[in-house]
């Protein structure tokens, strides 16, 4: 699992408190939430996933109000 940085994902970080990740196609939402909690030490409020045309899985992770997506992005060095 790794973060995806595009113009749209930066907009989601700033406006919607969401992070975008590329993850294993076989992972379900519960496994993604557990990985987010373990790797980045934040809680996910909601997770939406989609399979891209290239066959990869994107996870849109909305963080709870206690956590700020921009702080996590800065810690990861992607903002």
Please give the pLDDT value at position 78: 83
Number of domains into which the chain is organized: 1
Cβ neighbours for 13, distance < 8 A, ≥ 6 positions apart: 19, 69, 70, 73, 79
Structural domain that includes position 23: 2-76
pTM to 2 decimal places? 0.90
Q: Is the pLDDT of residue 79 over 90?
A: no
pLDDT in tens, 22-77: 999 999 999 999 999 999 999 999 999 999 999 999 999 999 999 999 999 999 88
Give me the sheet containing 44-51, strands edge to edge: 2-3, 18-23, 57-63, 44-51
Task: Say which CATH number the domain at 38 has.
Answer: 3.30.70.330
| Per-residue confidence (pLDDT) for residue 10, from 0 to 100 | 93
Query: How confident is the model over 2-11, as a mean pLDDT?
Result: 93
């Amino acid at each position: 699992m790794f973060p995806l940085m595009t113009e749209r994902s930066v907009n989601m970080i700033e406006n919607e408190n969401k992070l975008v990740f590329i993850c294993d196609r076989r992972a379900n939402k519960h496994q993604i939430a557990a990985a987010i909690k373990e790797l980045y030490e934040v809680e996910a409020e909601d997770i939406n996933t989609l399979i891209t045309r290239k066959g990869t899985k994107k996870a849109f992770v909305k963080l709870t109000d206690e956590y700020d997506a921009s702080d996590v992005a800065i810690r990861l060095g992607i903002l």
